Chains A and B, each alone.
Chain A
């Protein structure tokens, strides 16, 4: 059974701090990784995708991938209250675009 694990949180950080969200996966052969943000009552929206080891930056967001450790993370710099949401980690499979989702980490940014 392929699995994706995330701490459910809630993770609470003060405004302006760096929020670090972590995700581990079980299938060593996984090649594609995604971070989605989901506000309460809304559907998920894609934040970033990452395919190669290392860091990928997009504005205040940085995704980090370490395939040897089977670990992917998302850093949010200068966290804002509007970043408060649940963050879902998803890992691609070799089954026609199917994703395996983690349980999500709830982030709360306090003003």
Chain B
């Protein structure tokens, strides 16, 4: 397996504020990090792929100016939800890539925007 941490695990914020989520790969260096979002009773939706030192690649329909991703080191990636709105309330999960194609998931961050 792999050890991945996310912080915070749960956050409640007011509409219009920004929220930063940190994802750390604790036992291996992750060149590539995937960020997912999951709404209740739905499957994982890939939001973006980030490579260390490069700009993230966003999936179709995901606003890059709203979901800022920084992958400055091989062990840390951050997702910032800017000007959050209630429709951004979701479960956000990071997933570092180990090797060529094995993904391990962080514990997730549950965001509630009031």
Interface positions of A (Cβ within 8 A of B):
32, 34, 36, 42-46, 49, 88, 90, 92, 96-99, 101-104
A88 B44 Cβ-Cβ under 8 A: yes
Enumerate chain B residues within 8 angstroms of A36, measured Cβ to Cβ. Answer: 105
Count contacts on B: residues with CB < 8 A to the other chain.
20
> Across the interface, do A99 and B107 meet the contact criterion of CB distance under 8 Å?
no
**Contact between A102 and B104 (Cβ–Cβ < 8 Å)?**
no
In the bound complex, what is the Cα–Cα distance between A66 and B108 (angstroms)?
Answer: 33
Compute how far the CA of A44 lies from the CA of B46 in the bound complex, rounded to whole angstroms.
Answer: 14
Main secondary structure of the interface of B (DSSP, over half): loop
12 contacts between A and B (CB under 8 A): A43-B107, A44-B44, A44-B93, A46-B102, A46-B103, A88-B43, A88-B44, A90-B103, A92-B101, A97-B32, A97-B34, A99-B103
Tell whether, in the assembled complex, residue A42 and residue B108 are in contact, meaning their CB atoms are under 8 Å apart. Answer: yes
Shortest distance between the CB of A78 and any CB in chain B (Å):
23
B46: A residues at CB distance < 8 A: 98
Minimum CB–CB distance for A47 against chain B, Å: 11
Q: A102-B43, A103-B43 are in contact. Are A43 and B106 (CB under 8 A)?
A: yes
**A98, B102: Cβ atoms closer than 8 Å:** no
Q: Do residues A49 and B102 form an inter-chain contact, with CB atoms below 8 A?
A: yes
Contacts of A96 in B (CB 8 A): 32, 49, 97
**Nearest-neighbor residue (CB-CB) of A95 within chain B:** B49
* Chain A residues with CB under 8 A of B34: 97-98
Contacts of B104 in A (CB 8 A): 46
Q: A96-B32, A97-B32 are in contact. Are A45 and B43 (CB under 8 A)?
A: no
